[in-house]
Amino acid sequence: MAENRKAPKLPVEGKRNILITSALPYVNNVPHLGNIIGCVLSADVFARYCRLRGYNAIYICGTDEYGTATETKAMEENCSPKEICDKYYAIHKDVYNWFNISFDEFGRTSSPQQTEVCQAIFKKIYENKWLSENTMQQLYCDACERFLADRLVEGTCPTPGCEYDSARGDQCEKCGKLLNPTELKNPRCKFCQKSPRIRDTDHLFLELPLLKDRLEKYISEMSVVGGWSQNAIQTTNSWLREGLKPRCITRDLKWGVPVPHEKYSDKVSFSIEFCKIFVVFIYLFYNLCAQYWKVFYVWFDAPIGYVSITSCYTRDWEKWWKNPENVELYQFMGKDNVPFHTVMFPSTLLGTGENWTLMKTISVTEYLNYEAGKFSKSKGIGVFGNDAKDTNLPVEVWRYYLLTNRPEVSDTLFTWPDLQAKLNSELLNNLGNFINRVLSFIAKPAGQGYDSIIPSVPDDVSSNSHDLTKKLVDKVAAYIDQYIEAMEKVKLKQGLKTAMSISSEGNAYLQESEFWRLYKENRSLCSLVMKTAAGIVYLLGCLMEPFIPSFTLEVFKQLNLPVEIHVSLCHNKGDIDRVKRPWDIISAGHKIGTPKPLFRELKDEEVEFYRKKFAGSQADRIVRAEAEAENVAKQLKKTKVSDGTGKKKSSAKSSNEAKNKAAAEPDITITRLDIRVGLIKKAQKHPDAESLYVVKIDVGEEQTRTVVSGLVKYIPLDEMQNRKVCVLCNLKAATMRGIKSQAMVLTASNDDDTKVELVEPPSSAHVGERITFPGCEGNPDELLNPKKKVWETLQVDLHTNEELVAVLQKCSTHHISWHLQGFIHTLGIDKLDKHQALEFKKRKKRKFKKEKKTRLSPYNPVGRFIAFFICLKCTICFMCNLTCFHLHFDCVFCVSWSQIIIIFY
């Protein structure tokens, strides 16, 4: 992602100033190819085109981080919403960086700027009386003890003819209709699958009917001036025909922008001593008032993210967003986002009464489907951004295929054979073939070519005197005009097709001119042909830059020309007129670089490999990978070992030898395990198995050991880096999906293995140090005999005691005082007060069922209890009814992520 960290660009009087945004991708998953072509890639192409033309353009985007989907994902992964956002923001940024998306600013909606801008807009609308307060009925889950946000409710779509049985509470994924959760038939809670009940709750509404006249005036004018795509116009008109209704802008959530309204945000702040005395009263007060702690609904706050992210880019953001006379706003998105950008967001800005830059042009895509079905983030179907990155196909191939398949007017289909055909016939045989033929011939030594020097053309030879060249130049000039017309109207697919037509004309020009014959028979005319062809190469590098920028970099490298200077189609610089005279583009005597092929053929066996690899959902792929790994392990057990001479060891032994060996076999004790302290030096995903990590671990030897570990679904990759672990070093090596695993990392898990964590040695332990158990002495085996099941026999007795220390015995109790004491110590509190110490003592003595296993984790279940907190940022105290203890909480008032002190519990 080529982010511009130079001085931010501001609108310039007299220039064309273009503000470009793409729909903010949600951070609850990795973006798939449908997401990428639907918004960020399409907007990137247009932004690059604008820069190519010399327009003063900026491209703003970022991750949409607030709302129910984030909270849901956080619950699934047992972490905070902030941690989920941090994780997926980094993933999105990495994917877009690989795709060469040229954001001027790629921000986040969880920033302080978002809160500031969003609340300021709300206050203006509130002051202008465009808001109303109503009591609405919302689904409440008694089992989960919470109001259910739209996305936490699933049921049957009420739309006649649809009746999709997995429609969300906000929108049906099948028919696209926007819904309210109470409209669903047979609603169910997404968490517990139980039927929720309807309960009253107060919310704020944006009065769209009162803004109808202003909105319709804007839509009728701008849809024509801005040349809105037809699907955007149809969707918007459909909304207007059905009649605008007040839309709720608040939700009963914690993760979001707090509503700056006295009823919903001003809370009572109590002293610590007061709260200790009236703890039960405050707890009841918390539950009574929980319905009044609200945040903005994501549809209201997310589009405002464009503004807040621009404010992160420049303090003078208002020069872009409150300057409709000098700034044109272009927005890119998928069709399911249209009403939020043509109805909701403009209404919000109009309601402030301020002079906002409203959207001029909207470019909307239909759906890109995958093979036999739809791309789906929630179901894990399709090729995702990180999948494309992990293939051997270069980024220019992915960008080109997605853009030629861009669903501009109807749904399109991604298939692997189609990608193969586009690569082999269009990129390799057309574009790549033309450029390589031209530059390779020029690079040939004198007598065979031009020794890498652009030839000069004698005065008596010109394009007008050569019919073939004149015909080519006329066609190229027409294509350039068509290219510009298409791109100005955001017809990106047509622009790409036009550029490729110039390449086809170039190939035909070479073939008809028979330049190889002209070189021998008419050197002067051959020089004109090759100089013209070299100019076409230059032109193609410019025209293709918005679509496949890495290709342009390589072309200009082979031309030996700096991209920064030469890649330009500015009208006021005369670039357009110049490129219409291709024989004049590159000066005679210029020395080109070293030509080499730009693309490689994609073979049938590779296509079949990718089709199988990415078939089904991500969950299906994990199951297949694990099954394959299990089969490999079974095969390894049957494999006979060589003695190093190439001969297999004989299994025939005398009965005496067998008896002696049995007598010499040592007892199975913990001392036979070679468990050492290791340091993870590098961790990465297995190239051929999505469920496996490949980890390089230093265990105190000359070289690191490679360990293949199935921890992908339990521990994020960033948490696997540079940390100490316990490593079993004397297991027999096993090959897992083509990579030999030379050891095993020790982990601890809960009863049903739904949560797994690494066993960490003491921080003072040295890398390579052997881990021993008190009272057990002896040397480890050099290599454990897999037939004797030494590790399998011993591992069942490895547990954790009540201090969460690994021990060789079964443990029936556990507690959290060690973790809590350490947490309080980090806050500068030396010890617990008397009451707290007594409470911990009682909790420590609590007995649990013997069959319940313990685990090395700060999240041990300790039964339901009441915790009381004070936020270090806003100093407000509050209660929380918990079933498990976490070291950090988000403050329900200021939504800060500062540490929270435990005052009483």
Average pLDDT over residues 151-158: 89
| Strand 724-728 relative to strand 744-745, pairing | antiparallel
The three-point CA angle 790-793-799 to 5° equals 120
Task: Tell me which residue of 740, 676, 731 sits closest to 708, measured CA to CA.
Answer: 740
First-to-final CA distance of the chain: 48
Average pLDDT over residues 823-828: 30
Percent of the chain with pLDDT over 90: 47
846 backbone dihedrals φ, ψ, rounded to 5°? -60, 130
Cα–Cα distance, 691 to 689 (Å, whole number): 6
pLDDT in tens, 565-611: 878 888 777 888 888 899 999 999 999 999 999 999 999 999 998 88
Which pLDDT score is estimated for 735? 81
Cα–Cα distance, 386 to 621 (Å, whole number): 14
Average pLDDT over residues 246-272: 72
Which pLDDT score is estimated for 173? 81
Does residue 668 or residue 286 have the better pLDDT?
668
The residues with which 902 forms a beta bridge, in sequence order, are 869
Torsion of CA 720, 724, 730, 735, to 10 degrees: 10
| Residue 640 · residue 650 · CB < 8 Å | no
| Residue 510 · residue 519 · CB < 8 Å | no
Neighbours of 256 (CB within 10 A): 29
Tokens describing residue 158: 């009420």
Q: Which residues contact 416 (CB under 8 A, 6 or more apart)?
A: 371, 607, 610, 611
| Residue 873 · residue 894 · CB < 8 Å | yes
Tokens describing residue 742: 């030379």
Cα–Cα distance, 330 to 364 (Å, whole number): 11
The sheet with strand 368-370 has its strands ordered as 373-374, 368-370, 412-414
DSSP for 276-341 reads HHTHHHHHHHHHHHGGG--EE-HHHHTTHHHHHHHHHH-TTTHHHHT-TTTEEEEEEEEGGGHHII
Supply the mean pLDDT for the chain: 80
Cα–Cα distance, 530 to 525 (Å, whole number): 9
Which pLDDT score is estimated for 211? 93
User: Would you place residue 634 in the very low, low, confident or very high pLDDT band (cuts 50, 70, 90)?
Assistant: low
Kindly report which listed range (629-643, 740-754, 773-787) carries the lowest average pLDDT score. Answer: 629-643
- Return the half-sphere exposure (C-beta side, CA atoms, 13 A cut-off) of residue 406: 29
Cα–Cα distance, 750 to 903 (Å, whole number): 30
Which pLDDT score is estimated for 889? 41
Q: Is the pLDDT of residue 807 over 80?
A: no
Kindly report which listed range (304-308, 564-568, 805-809, 818-822) carries the lowest average pLDDT score. Answer: 818-822
Which pLDDT score is estimated for 752? 65
DSSP for 687-744 reads TTEEEEEEEEEE-SSSSPEEEEE--TTTS-GGGGSS-EEEEE--SPPEEETTEEE--E
How many Å is the maximal CA-CA distance in the chain?
Answer: 105
Does residue 708 or residue 831 have the better pLDDT?
708
| Coil, helix or strand at residue 17 | strand
pLDDT in tens, 889-898: 444 444 443 3
Neighbours of 801 (CB within 10 A): 15
Q: Is the pLDDT of residue 663 over 50?
A: no
Q: Which residues contact 585 (CB under 8 A, 6 or more apart)?
A: 534, 535, 538, 539, 578, 579
pLDDT in tens, 667-682: 788 888 889 999 999 9
Which pLDDT score is estimated for 646? 47
Which pLDDT score is estimated for 50? 96
714 backbone dihedrals φ, ψ, rounded to 5°? -110, -40
User: Would you place residue 147 in the very low, low, confident or very high pLDDT band (cuts 50, 70, 90)?
Assistant: confident
Which pLDDT score is estimated for 756? 83
Cα–Cα distance, 485 to 620 (Å, whole number): 45
Torsion of CA 821, 822, 828, 834, to 10 degrees: 10
Q: Is the pLDDT of residue 276 over 80?
A: no
Average pLDDT over residues 780-785: 86
Query: Among the ranges 229-233, 367-371, 645-649, 813-817, which has the highest mean pLDDT value?
Result: 229-233
| Strand 185-189 relative to strand 153-156, pairing | antiparallel
H/E run at residue 135: strand 131-141
User: Would you place residue 623 in the very low, low, confident or very high pLDDT band (cuts 50, 70, 90)?
Assistant: low
DSSP for 363-417 reads EEE--EEETTEE-BTTTTBS-BHHHHHHSSS-HHHHHHHHHHT--SSS-EEE-HH
User: Would you place residue 687 in the very low, low, confident or very high pLDDT band (cuts 50, 70, 90)?
Assistant: confident
Cα–Cα distance, 288 to 25 (Å, whole number): 35
Cα–Cα distance, 494 to 127 (Å, whole number): 47
pLDDT in tens, 330-376: 999 999 899 999 999 999 999 999 999 999 999 999 988 888 666 66
Kindly report which listed range (148-157, 165-174, 521-530, 744-753) carries the lowest average pLDDT score. Answer: 744-753
Q: Which residues contact 603 (CB under 8 A, 6 or more apart)?
A: none
Q: Is the pTM of this model over 0.75?
A: no
Q: Is the pLDDT of residue 819 over 70?
A: no
Q: Is the pLDDT of residue 191 over 60?
A: yes
Average pLDDT over residues 43-54: 96
Percent of the chain with pLDDT over 70: 77
Q: Residue 234 is which amino acid? A: Q
User: Would you place residue 813 in the very low, low, confident or very high pLDDT band (cuts 50, 70, 90)?
Assistant: very low
Query: Among the ranges 411-415, 479-483, 611-615, 741-745, which has the highest mean pLDDT value?
Result: 479-483
Tokens describing residue 379: 């179901």
Q: Looking up tokens 């465009």, which residue turns up?
A: 130
pLDDT in tens, 841-872: 333 333 333 333 333 223 333 333 334 444 44
Average pLDDT over residues 871-885: 38
| Residue 450 · residue 626 · CB < 8 Å | no
Q: Is the pLDDT of residue 840 over 60?
A: no
| Residue 275 · residue 282 · CB < 8 Å | yes
Average pLDDT over residues 310-338: 95
Q: Which residues contact 357 (CB under 8 A, 6 or more apart)?
A: 19, 320, 321, 322, 323, 324, 327, 329
Instruction: Fill in the DSSP letter of residue 829.
Output: -
User: Would you place residue 226 in the very low, low, confident or very high pLDDT band (cuts 50, 70, 90)?
Assistant: very high
Q: Looking up tokens 């301020």, which residue turns up?
A: 354
Q: Using CB atoms within 10 Å of the CB of residue 159, give its burial: 0 to 12 exposed, 13 to 18 middle, 19+ buried.
A: middle
Kindly report which listed range (84-93, 489-498, 678-687, 863-872) carries the lowest average pLDDT score. Answer: 863-872
pLDDT in tens, 92-129: 999 999 999 999 999 999 999 999 999 999 999 999 99
